[in-house]
Amino acid sequence: MALIELKHIFKRFGWLEVLNDISLEIEAGKCLVIIGASGSGKSVMLKNIVGLLKPDYGEVWFSGHRIDDLPQRALMKVRQRFGFLFQQGALFDSINVAQNVAFPLVEHTSKKPHEIAEIVKQKLRMVGLPDVANKMPAELSGGQRKRVALARAIALDPEVILYDEPTTGLDPIRSDVINELILKLQHELHVTSIVVTHDMNSAFKVADRIVMLFEGKLIFDGTAEEVRNTDNDQVKRFVLGEASLQELQTLETSENI
């Protein structure tokens, strides 16, 4: 049975239709990668899964229960089973790294301070940053910030980790560190991962399955190998990073202006 299920999701902002009849089943323990151009609705889809946005129409199911219609307080309980890595990390900038990682533990468990401190150390070791506990988020580099955010996301040992463009803004080496971390957590914690990205190196490296969003619709669903061998023109161009003739013509028109 699928751990997460999206059933005919529609979402629009004003006149802009962002998700248009999205249905998707996500298996437990696997890594699903959602690819698509900027503005294609990838992050909106991620936020619908965790209830940060509500679909205009359609249903979101998690672990056999419908969650999109839950009241706020019930939804907050469900969210504790998710970890979410934001694009910029979203670390709380008024507290240090250790306090950031400890935050969900302080909020949702009755563990003693020394137990929490031990878990914080362990999570920071897992993401390869054992020595930054006392630093403030502003003192960290972009890659370090994302790894600390990941340590915070796994503090409560979630069943699902959602990654919103985890390698955006990082150099290729740092991106690879994040990819390795995603794989490591996948294997060590046996979590279900959903990664939103437009970095194809990252997608090929971590994905068990890749889906592509284009203009609010799912236009592809397959393995990394199937993505490489597909005949679908949209997917091929996205993977190779080639602009369409129409997009190039727009550039020429603007030059003439």
Partner 1 sequence: MATRFIARVGQTTNNGLAAFGDFCEFAGRTLLWLCTSGLKWKSLRLLLPQMYEIGVRSLPVIGITGAFIGMVISIETFTQFKAIGQENRLGSVVFLSVVKQIGPVLASVMLAGRVGGALTAELGTMNVTEQLDALRVMGTDPIRFLVVPRFLACLLLTPILTIYSDITGILGAWFIGVKVLGVPSGPFWHYAEHGVELWQINEGIIKSFFFGAAIALISCYKGFNCGAGANGVGRACTESFVASFMSIIIMNFFFAQIAQNLYVGLFGARSVFG
Q: Write out the residues near partner 1 by the rule CB under 8 A.
A: 47, 50, 52, 72-73, 76-80, 82, 84, 86-88, 90-93, 103-104, 107-108, 152, 156
Least Å distance between CB 225 and partner 1?
32
Give the nearer residue to partner 1 in terms of CB position, either 93 or 242.
93
User: Under 8 Å CB-to-CB from 146, ≥6 apart: which residues?
Assistant: 85, 89, 166, 170, 178
Least Å distance between CB 65 and partner 1?
16
Least Å distance between CB 227 and partner 1?
29
Give the nearer residue to partner 1 in terms of CB position, either 87 or 234.
87
Least Å distance between CB 12 and partner 1?
17
Q: Which residues of 61-79 are buried (b: 16+ CB within 10 A; e: fewer)?
A: bbeeeebbebeeeebeeeb
Give the nearer residue to partner 1 in terms of CB position, either 95 or 243.
95
Least Å distance between CB 76 and partner 1?
4
Q: How far apart are CA 140 and CA 100, in angstroms?
A: 13
Contact 206, 165 (CB under 8 A): no
Give the nearer residue to partner 1 in terms of CB position, either 55 or 218.
55
Give the nearer residue to partner 1 in terms of CB position, either 127 or 235.
127
Least Å distance between CB 152 and partner 1?
8
Least Å distance between CB 90 and partner 1?
4
Give the nearer residue to partner 1 in terms of CB position, either 58 or 104.
104
Give the nearer residue to partner 1 in terms of CB position, either 87 or 122.
87
Q: How far apart are CA 38 and CA 11, in angstroms?
A: 17
